[in-house]
Structure 1
Amino acid sequence: MKKWFKITLSTVILIGLLLGSFYLGNKIAIDNGNKVVIDKEEYDIFSKLDSFKDIVDEYFLFDIKDEDLKTSTYKGFFNGLGDPYTEYMTEEEYEKLVESSSGEYSGIGVYITVTDDNLIKVISPIKGSPAFNSGIQPGDIIAQVNGETFTGDQLNDAMAIMKGKPGDKVTIGIKRLSEDGSYEDLEVNVTVDIVELKTVEYSKVDNLGYILISQFGEKTYEEFVEGYNSLKDDKVNGIILDLRNNPGGLKDTCVEIADFLLPEGPIVKTVDKNGNEDISKSDPKEENLPMVVLVNNNSASASEILAGAIQDYEKATIVGSTTYGKGLVQTLAPLKTFGINDNGALKITIQEYFTPKDRKINEVGVKPDKEVEMPENTTEYGIEHLDTDIQLKTAIDILANS
C-alpha cells in the first residue's frame, strides 16, 4: 500500500508566502521582479506588519534576529486559524517529524500533546527511552525546558530543544498531579540519545496474547502482523490489543492493521471541507481470534480509527475509558509543493473521519463497551503491572469467560 503522511519579516517574503498559498484567486502583477500589485485590503495588512517591524527596530529593548521574526510571523498566521494541528514547520522541524516516523531518531523519547488550556502534556514516554529512564510519566506537564518556559503554542520550539544531538543535556521542568489534586513542581535531567522506536510489543499472559501498539509508524503494520501470527502459532485463546496512551500516527498504517483484522467492508470514511468523501475498505480476509481492545483518554487519532472500526464490526469488546476525540486528518507537505520558495513544510487539517457506521469521533471519542476507570493519577500500565492494572485484568477476565 502506498504510504504518505496524513494523523499534518520582510514584507516581500511575507507577501510571497501569503500570496503563494492563500491569495491565488486574486489578480497580481509583477514588475521588474520586485513589485507586486495587490488589492487595498491586503496592502493594509502588509503595511501594518511593516509598521510593526519599524516600531520593533526603534523601541524594542532586546536584540532581534530577522530570521526568528520571519518564522514567528509565518507560525502566527496559522496559529490564527484556531486549530492546534495546523502549523507552519521550519525545515529542521519538518525533518525531525519525518525522522520520528521512520523508526529511529535523536531525542528524549516522549509522546506529547497540547491540552485545551494550552499546556504541553506527556501522553507517554517511549519504553526504554531517556525520558522513560529519567522517570517522566504520562500526565506530566512540561512547563520548562532548560529553564525556559513553554506553552502549548510553543510546542515545536520546546521539541526542537528536546530533540537535540546525542549527548546533549536537557533539564525538563514538569508539573505532576499529586494525590491531593495539587501540582508538584519537579526538575528532571535527561540526556538526549538515539531513540529506537519499536512500536509493537507482544507477549503471553494466562494463555492469552497481549499486543501493545505505542503509535502507528512506518514499520508498525509489519511488527503487528509478526506479533499476531507468532501468538496465533503459539495457540493462544485470544488477543488483548492495547491502544492506551497511543497518540495516533500514520493513518494508512492503521488502516492496514484494520484490513488485516476485519471482514470485507468500510474501515473509515473521511470527509473534506467540500463534502467529498473517501472510504478506506477492507478485503474479505479476516482474523477470528477472540479479542479485547484496551483504550483510555490518551488514545487518539489513528488509534481511535482502529478501535472505532473494530467496535462497529463487533469484532472485540472495547474496555477502558472514552478516547481522546481527535477525529481529524492532517496532510504534511513541503511548502515547495505549493510553489512557495521555502524549505519548511505545512501540516494542515484537511479532513474529518467517521467510523464505518458513520459515528463522529472528533471531540466525542470512542466510548468503551465496558467502562473501567484506572485509579486517579495511575501511570503504570501493561503486563509488568498486572497486579494494579485493572483494565488489563478486566480484559483477561472477559476472554477467559468467552
Structure 2
Amino acid sequence: MDRKFVFLLGIALLLIVGTTALLGLWNPSVPARSESLSKTSQFFRPLEQTYQYIKDNFYQPQRADDQQLLYGSIQGMLKQLHDPYSVFFTPEQAKKFLQGFQEKPFMGIGVYVGLTNGRLTVIKPIPGGPAEQAGVRAGDWISEIEGQSTKGITLDGASTQLRGPEGTTVKIKVQHLDGILKDIQITRAKIQVPSVEHRLMDDGKIGYIKIGAFNTPTASELRRALEAMQQSKVQGLIIDLRDNPGGFLSSAVDVASFFVDRGLILTEQTRQGSQSFPSHGNRFPNWPLAVLINRNTASSAEILSGALRDHEMAILIGEKTFGKGIVQTAQELGDGSLLKLTTGEYHTPLGRKVQGVGLPADIKVPQPDEPLAKLLGRLHQFGALFPSDDSKDRQLLSRLRRQANEIQIQVENDRFEAALQAARAMQGQLESERAALQADGGLIAQGELDKLSGLLKQLSAALERNDFSVATAWLKAHFGQFCPCRLPPLPQPQTPSQHI
C-alpha cells in the first residue's frame, strides 16, 4: 500500500555514526489521491510509445533495463521543477533515508564531518566517542581512509567507509590544524547522540543550551535541561542554534512551546490552504534568551528562532540564517521507492518569509578576516618550529605549543573569556621577553617575533568580539528581567540568502 509522509528537511550535515543523518519531520498521512487513468493515459501516450520504441529498437538491449528507464523518467520530471529539494529515491536509497529517522544507537566512529573546499573535514567529534578518544580533533582534515585518498569523496561515500559493525576498526590519516599528520586507528562502537547539551556559566547565573538537531527526544531532553536550569536559579539562557540543520517540525513546535506562552509558532501555506501551529503552553520562567544563529542555522532551527523573535522572547545574535522555509511531502511508491516533493512553505508568527532570505540577526557579529580555527592553526605552526638547540627560542616555542593547545580546547568548549585571557597573557609574556629573545638571535630574532606578536593581537581581537561573548554581555545587562523583552525593531533582510 502506498504511504505518504510529510517532513521538513534542513541542510545536509553528515553524522558518521553508522548512517547518514537526514534530519527532517515526517508523519503518516492519508494515501495520495489517485487520478483516473482515463484522464492521464492519453497525455502520457508519448512516454509509453518512447518506452516501447526503445525496447524494440535500441541496438544494445542489455542497456535498456526496465527499472532504470522507469526511474530515469521520474527523475526527468523532477528535474524540470528546478527544485533541489524535490528528489526521487530508489528502494535502497529510500531505506537508508528512512533509517535516519529511527531512534536507535548508531554504529560508527562518532564524528560530524563536512566537505570544506573539497576536503573531508571533521566539524566536531562527538564528546566521549571513539574518534575523540583516539585523538581526532575539530578541524582535522581526513586525507585517507584505509590507505585510500579522500580526494573527490562524497559525504555518502565517507559514511559507507567509516561506518561498520561494533568492534571493527577503521584506519584514517588526519592532518591537524597545526599541520601535523597522524595515522589513527579507531574501533567502531555504539554511538548515542544527544540532541541537547547544557551547562552552567558565569557562576551559575547563565545557562547554556546547545540544540544540535530537532529529533523525537529533543523536547524531553530540553525539558530536563530547563528543569536543571530552574533549580540552579539561572538569570538568563543562551540557546545555541549555530550549525543546526533542522529536524522534525513537531519537535520544533514542542521546543518553541517551552518559551512561548501562547499564540502561533508558525503557519504553513500549501495548495490546500493555510495551517496554523500554536504553542502548547509554557510552564518555565520567561528568562531573557540570547539565541546564537549563523549561516548554517536552517529549517526547524529557523522556525524556533523566528517564533522566539516574533514573540519578543529572545534576541538573535550572529549571522543571517540559511533560509530554508519550505516543506516536503514524501510519497512511498509501490515498489518501495520514494518521491519527495516540495508541497508547502512556512512563515513566522508575524508572517515573515524565511525561504530564500533567512532571518537576520538583531546584533550582527562580523566574522573575523580569518576564522578562529585558521588563526589557531597558524599559532600551532609557530609552536611546531622547534630549534634543535636549547635556546630561548626553543623554550618559548615549547611553551607556545602547550598554550595554543589549551586555547584551542577552551575555544572548542566556548570558553572564550578564558581563551582571551590566555592569549593576552601569551602576548604579555612575549613582550616582556622581547629583548632577551632578540639578543639570543635565531628564529625569533629573524622577523618572526613581530609576526607572532601580530598573530596574537588578531587572535585576541577575534576572541573578544564573537557571538558567544556578545550574548553573554547582553544577558548580563538583562539580569533580573523577564521576557517579553524590549527589543529593537525587527530588522528586514536586504538581499536574498547567498546559500540558496
- Cα deviation code 1:10-66 (max 9, x no counterpart): xxxxxxxxxx9899454289xxxxxx98743222443476589754747xxxxx9x6
Q: Which moved more, 1:228-237 or 1:40-49?
A: 40-49
- Residue 345 of structure 1: how far off its partner (Å): 3.0
- Structure 2 counterpart of 1:6: 7
- 1:359-398 counterparts in 2 under 5 A? 359-375=352-368, 376-378=370-372, 381-384=412-415, 387=418, 390-398=466-474
- 1:346-365 counterparts in 2 under 5 A? 346-365=339-358
- 1:130-141 counterparts in 2 under 5 A? 135=136, 137=138
Provide the C-alpha distance between the structure 1 equivalents of 2:362 and 2:87, rounded to a whole number of angstroms: 35
The answer to whether the 8 A contact 1:78-1:86 is kept is no
The answer to whether the 8 A contact 2:196-2:218 is kept is yes
Name structure 1 gaps, 5 residues minimum: 9-19, 30-35, 59-63, 180-184
- Structure 2 counterpart of 1:199: 195
- Structure 2 counterpart of 1:73: 72
Distance 1:79 1:362, change over 3 A: same
Provide the C-alpha distance between the structure 1 equivalents of 2:172 and 2:73, rounded to a whole number of angstroms: 27
The answer to whether the 8 A contact 1:143-1:173 is kept is yes
Secondary structure of the equivalent of 2:84? coil
Distance 1:165 1:223, change over 3 A: same
2:475 to 380, 389, 399: 399
The answer to whether the 8 A contact 2:119-2:151 is kept is no
Provide the C-alpha distance between the structure 2 equivalents of 1:113 and 1:72, rounded to a whole number of angstroms: 29
- Structure 2 counterpart of 1:13: none
- Structure 1 counterpart of 2:46: 41
Distance 1:129 1:90, change over 3 A: farther
Distance 1:109 1:27, change over 3 A: farther
Instruction: Indicate the percent of aligned positions where both proteins have the same amino acid.
Output: 27
The answer to whether the 8 A contact 1:99-1:105 is kept is no
RMSD: 4.5
The answer to whether the 8 A contact 1:320-1:370 is kept is yes
Distance 1:268 1:119, change over 3 A: farther
Provide the C-alpha distance between the structure 1 equivalents of 2:183 and 2:71, rounded to a whole number of angstroms: 28
- Cα deviation code 1:265-299 (max 9, x no counterpart): 11011112x26111100145364111111111111
Amino acid at match of 1:6: F
Instruction: Find out whether 1:27 has 2:63 as its counterpart.
Output: no
Provide the C-alpha distance between the structure 2 equivalents of 1:237 and 1:310, rounded to a whole number of angstroms: 18
TM-score, normalised via structure 2 length: 0.59
Secondary structure of the equivalent of 1:241? strand
- 1:107-126 counterparts in 2 under 5 A? 107-109=108-110, 126=126
- Residue 350 of structure 1: how far off its partner (Å): 2.0
- Residue 321 of structure 1: how far off its partner (Å): 0.9
Provide the C-alpha distance between the structure 1 equivalents of 2:98 and 2:175, rounded to a whole number of angstroms: 29
Higher helix share: 2
Distance 1:43 1:344, change over 3 A: closer
Distance 1:48 1:314, change over 3 A: farther
The answer to whether the 8 A contact 1:122-1:142 is kept is no
Provide the C-alpha distance between the structure 2 equivalents of 1:233 and 1:56, rounded to a whole number of angstroms: 72
Q: Which moved more, 1:195-204 or 1:98-107?
A: 98-107
- Residue 195 of structure 1: how far off its partner (Å): 2.2
Distance 1:173 1:87, change over 3 A: farther
The answer to whether the 8 A contact 2:145-2:161 is kept is no
Provide the C-alpha distance between the structure 2 equivalents of 1:269 and 1:140, rounded to a whole number of angstroms: 41
Secondary structure of the equivalent of 2:7? coil
The answer to whether the 8 A contact 1:386-1:392 is kept is no
- Structure 2 counterpart of 1:82: 82
Name structure 2 gaps, 5 residues minimum: 10-30, 374-410, 420-462, 479-500
Q: Which moved more, 1:67-76 or 1:362-371?
A: 67-76
- Structure 2 counterpart of 1:14: none
Distance 1:300 1:21, change over 3 A: same
Amino acid at match of 1:73: G
- Residue 369 of structure 1: how far off its partner (Å): 0.7
- 1:317-356 counterparts in 2 under 5 A? 317-333=315-331, 335=332, 340-356=333-349
- Structure 2 counterpart of 1:106: 107
- Residue 85 of structure 1: how far off its partner (Å): 2.6
The answer to whether the 8 A contact 1:108-1:192 is kept is yes
Question: Which of structures 1 and 2 has the bigger CA Rg?
Answer: 2
1:285 to 282, 289, 293: 282
